[in-house]
């Protein structure tokens, strides 16, 4: 009998760093243009900067903390069958000090704890587990 090990599958491949020690924490990976300074998330696969049209993009590690710019509470499962997590859930946009906005689910005990402008921090954790025990791993932001 072959037993397949439980897999940890990222929702977006290569979107964050994998720490090599417990002292390090994961960071989202973006792209920054060396020419015009524009920052993108998720990172772009090509060197071409859509803003200035030069091939001067490089990967950067984004800040782990930012401010909640806007959010909503989703009460109903989105259609299409591609969302498996529980509802309701909070979805927000985080403004990072790297001059980029990141859309992400929010990890929060009570939705009333959320308000625009509060400090948020990145967490990487299980989003969902499939019937075979494989874990889907995603990024979220939680209030600090
Ligand atoms: Zn540019």
- Per-residue pLDDT of 83-141, as tens digits, reads 667 789 999 999 999 999 999 999 999 999 999 999 999 999 988 888 888 888 999 99
Tokens of 119: 């400090």
Tell me how many degrees the CA angle 105-110-111 measures, rounded to the nearest 5: 55
Q: What is the pTM of this model?
A: 0.87
Compute the distance from residue 50 Cα to the ligand 1 centre, in Å. 7
CA-to-CA distance for 5 and 91, rounded, in angstroms?
Answer: 31
User: Which domain does 122 fall in, by range?
Assistant: 64-143
Please list, in sequence order, all residues whose beta carbon lies within 8 angstroms of the beta carbon of residue 56, skipping any fewer than 6 positions away.
33, 34, 35, 47, 49
**Is 81 domain-assigned?**
yes
**30 CA to centre of ligand 1 in angstroms:** 13
Total number of domains constituting the chain: 1
Q: Which residues lie at CB < 5 A from ion ligand 1?
A: 33, 35-36, 38, 49, 51-52
Instruction: Tell whether 109 is covered by a domain.
Output: yes
User: Could you tell me if residue 21 is inside a domain?
Assistant: no
Distance 33 CA to ligand 1 centre (A): 5
Does residue 40 lie within any of the structural domains?
no
Round to whole Å and give the CA distance between 65 and 71: 16
CA of 60 to the centre of ligand 1 (A): 14
CA angle 67, 72, 78 (to 5 degrees): 130
Helix, strand or coil for residue 58? strand
């Amino acid at each position: 009998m072959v037993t397949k090990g439980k897999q940890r599958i990222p929702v977006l491949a290569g979107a964050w760093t994998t720490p090599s020690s417990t002292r390090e924490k994961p960071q989202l990976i973006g792209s920054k243009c060396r020419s015009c300074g524009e920052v993108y998330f998720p990172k772009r696969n090509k060197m071409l900067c859509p803003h200035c049209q030069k091939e001067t993009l490089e990967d950067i590690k984004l800040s782990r903390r930012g401010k909640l710019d806007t959010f909503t509470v989703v009460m109903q499962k989105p259609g299409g069958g591609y969302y498996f997590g529980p509802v309701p859930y909070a979805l927000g946009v985080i403004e990072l000090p790297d001059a980029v906005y990141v859309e992400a689910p929010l990890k929060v005990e009570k939705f009333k704890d959320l308000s625009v402008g509060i400090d948020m921090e990145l967490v990487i954790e299980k989003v969902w587990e499939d019937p075979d025990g494989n874990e889907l791993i995603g990024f979220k932001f939680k209030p600090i």
